[in-house]
Structure 1
Amino acid sequence: MDNDELNPAELLAQGLAALSDLLGSEWFVAPRPDSESRSGVDVIVELRAEGDSSYTQLLVDIRRSVTPRMVEEVLLPKLDLIRQVNRYTNLMIITPWLARKTQHMLRELGISYLDMTGNVSLRVSRPAIVVYTEGATRAPRSVAHEPSRTTLAGPKASRLVRLLADVRPPFRAVELADASGLSLAYVSRLLDTLEDQLLIRRDGRVIYAVDWMNLLRARAKQDNLLRNHSYQGMVAPNGIPAVLNEISSLPAKALDGIAITGSWAAHRVAPLSAGGQLILHIAKWLSVDDLADDLGLLPVRENADVLFLPARDQVVFDGTKRFGGVQHVALSQLVLDCLAGPGRMPAEGEAVLEYMLTHEDEWRAFSVLTQQKHRSH
Structure 2
Amino acid sequence: MESPLIRELDLLEQGIDALRGLLGPDWQVTQRPNKSSVFDAALEVKPEGDSTFTQLLVEATLAVPPRFIMERLVPKVQLLREVNHYTNLLVIAPWISSQARELLKQNGIAYLDLTGNVDIRVPRPAIIIHTVGAEKAPRSAPREASRTTLAGVKAGRLVRLLADVPPPHRATDLHRVSELSLPYVSRLLDTLEDQLLIRREGRTIANVDWAQLLRARANATNLLAPGSYQGFLAPNGIPALLQEIPRLATEYIDGLSVTGSHAAQRFAQVAVGGQLMFYVAPWLNIDDAADELGLLPVTEGADVLLLNESDSFVRRRSEFDGGVQYVAPSQAVLDCLAGPGRMPAEGEALLDFMEAYPEEWRASENDIWPRPPRH
Q: Same fold (TM over 0.5)?
A: yes
Letter in 2 for 1:31: Q
Confirm or deny that 1:355 pairs with 2:353. Answer: yes
Q: Distance in 2 between matches of 1:146 and 1:31?
A: 29
The answer as to whether partners of 1:31 and 1:45 remain within 8 angstroms in 2 is yes
| Sequence identity (%) | 56
The answer as to whether partners of 2:257 and 2:278 remain within 8 angstroms in 1 is yes
2:135 paired residue among 134, 137, 141: 137
Change (3 A) 1:256 1:127: same
Q: 1:165 offset after TM fit, Å?
A: 0.6
Confirm or deny that 1:252 pairs with 2:273. Answer: no
Q: 1:373 offset after TM fit, Å?
A: 5.9
Change (3 A) 1:97 1:344: closer
Q: Distance in 2 between matches of 1:146 and 1:44?
A: 27
Larger CA deviation: 321-330 vs 124-133: 124-133
Residue aligning to 2:274: 276
> Which of structure 1's runs of 4+ aligned residues deviate more than 4 A?
366-369, 373-377
Q: Distance in 2 between matches of 1:243 and 1:131?
A: 52
The answer as to whether partners of 1:62 and 1:95 remain within 8 angstroms in 2 is yes
Q: 1:375 offset after TM fit, Å?
A: 5.8
Residue aligning to 1:20: 20
The answer as to whether partners of 1:284 and 1:310 remain within 8 angstroms in 2 is yes
1:77 paired residue among 75, 78, 84: 75
Q: 1:72 offset after TM fit, Å?
A: 0.8
Cα RMSD of the aligned pairs, angstroms, is: 2.6
Q: Distance in 1 between matches of 2:330 and 2:348?
A: 11
Residue aligning to 1:293: 291
Q: 1:228 offset after TM fit, Å?
A: 4.5
Residue aligning to 1:171: 169
Number of corresponding residues: 375
Give the TM-score normalised by the residue count of structure 2. Answer: 0.91
Residue aligning to 2:45: 47
Larger CA deviation: 195-204 vs 247-256: 247-256
Change (3 A) 1:73 1:250: same
Q: SS where residue 192 of structure 2 aligns?
A: helix
Letter in 2 for 1:30: T
Change (3 A) 1:253 1:82: same
Letter in 1 for 2:263: A
Equivalent residue runs for 1:270-349 within 5 Å = 270-349=268-347
Change (3 A) 1:65 1:180: same
Q: 1:330 offset after TM fit, Å?
A: 0.4
Change (3 A) 1:19 1:232: closer
Q: SS where residue 195 of structure 1 aligns?
A: helix
- Gaps (5+ residues) in structure 2? none
Deviation string 1:338-358 (CA, Å, 9 cap, x unpaired) is 112222222211111111111
Q: 1:146 offset after TM fit, Å?
A: 4.2
- Gaps (5+ residues) in structure 1? none
Give the TM-score normalised by the residue count of structure 1. Answer: 0.91
